[in-house]
Structure 1
Amino acid sequence: MGKPRIRPIALGLIKHQGHIFVSKGYDPVKDQGFYRFLGGGIDFGETSLDALQREFREEIQAELTNIRYLGCLENIFTCRGKPGHELIQLFQCDFVDSKFHNLEKIYPLVEGKNVHDAMWISIDQVQAGNLNLVPESCYRYLYD
């Protein structure tokens, strides 16, 4: 195993009719589900904006518009029993294609060989503590 490192990532916060667009994850060690904004790693020489757009294209074949930078968040966590440390470049954005606005649909999200679920979840349900959005530092951006 290599030396632990800080991972730079770009994530997109997309809101629509009181909902946010997220991917669903599960930590078998904690036996706990969680939700997270879509996005991913920033490659060397790539801007965080370019990484955000590339990740949405790769994962759900979506183009973004109205992109604006919200800030940088630090996330130190444990997932699947392993420590993690991320610097998150967080952007608010919208989908170009309204086909992604179906609040009831589950969208296939492809990450390499793995397929996960992407979906809309209620902001009120997140704020009420019924849905586990990670990292918690994202909560302050849920309401305009």
Structure 2
Amino acid sequence: MVGRIQGIRAIALGLIQHGSRLFVSEGFDPVKEDTFYRALGGGIEFGETSLDALKREFQEELQAELTNIRYLGCLENLFTYDGKPGHELVQLYRCDFADKTFYQREQIPFSDSDQTYMAYWIERDRFHSGELRLVPPACLQYLD
């Protein structure tokens, strides 16, 4: 084997839709100078199911409980971020917020690894048209 061994990261993401909007966080790749959007969720810890990881991540980051959780499938995501290759196996779920007030807010701050980020409700047509980029791209096929 040539080069250094790269890890494959297992993550769980929750697609939350409300009407024609999708709940996503905004990211920025400084090397590509590119803005992208991703459903919320995060890493699956050793000994934890992807469903438990999804619930934990939403609780930790947003203090939010999920309901109507349905497994959609597993996506393989090969990408480059900040000039470095990445490889993820994404356990994708469709879900809803138990607390309906989340649907009334245009943007919601959340914390991850001692940093604060922003999540937004964005019209899903903006992703389908290519105006905005949703990652991993295979998530597009699961949008209503």
TM-score normalized with structure 2 length: 0.95
Show the counterpart of 1:137.
Answer: 138
How far, CA to CA, are the matches of 1:47 and 1:63 in structure 2?
A: 17
Q: What SS does the corresponding residue of 1:130 show, helix, strand or coil? A: coil
Structure 2: any 5+ residue segments left out of the alignment?
A: none
- 1:86 equivalent in alignment to 2:66: no
Q: In the TM superposition, what is the alpha-carbon distance from 1:3 to its structure 2 partner?
A: 3.1
Q: In the TM superposition, what is the alpha-carbon distance from 1:17 to its structure 2 partner?
A: 1.3
Q: In the TM superposition, what is the alpha-carbon distance from 1:23 to its structure 2 partner?
A: 0.6
How far, CA to CA, are the matches of 2:143 and 2:131 in structure 1?
A: 15
Superimposed CA distance per residue, residues 52-88 of structure 1 (whole angstroms, 9 cap, x where no aligned partner) = 0000001111000000100000000000111000000
Show the counterpart of 1:29.
Answer: 31
How far, CA to CA, are the matches of 2:111 and 2:98 in structure 1?
A: 19
Match of 1:46 among 48, 53, 60: 48
Q: What SS does the corresponding residue of 1:68 show, helix, strand or coil? A: strand
Match of 1:73 among 72, 75, 95: 75
Misfit runs of 4+, over 2 Å:
none
Instruction: Specify the code of the residue in structure 2 equivalent to 1:27.
Output: D
Instruction: Specify the code of the residue in structure 2 equivalent to 1:110.
Output: S
Structure 1: any 5+ residue segments left out of the alignment?
A: none
Instruction: Specify the code of the residue in structure 2 equivalent to 1:80.
Output: D
Q: In the TM superposition, what is the alpha-carbon distance from 1:14 to its structure 2 partner?
A: 0.4
Instruction: Specify the code of the residue in structure 2 equivalent to 1:70.
Output: L
How far, CA to CA, are the matches of 2:8 and 2:108 in structure 1?
A: 29
Match of 2:103 among 101, 104, 124: 101
Equivalenced residues, count? 141
Q: In the TM superposition, what is the alpha-carbon distance from 1:24 to its structure 2 partner?
A: 0.6
Instruction: Specify the code of the residue in structure 2 equivalent to 1:45.
Output: G
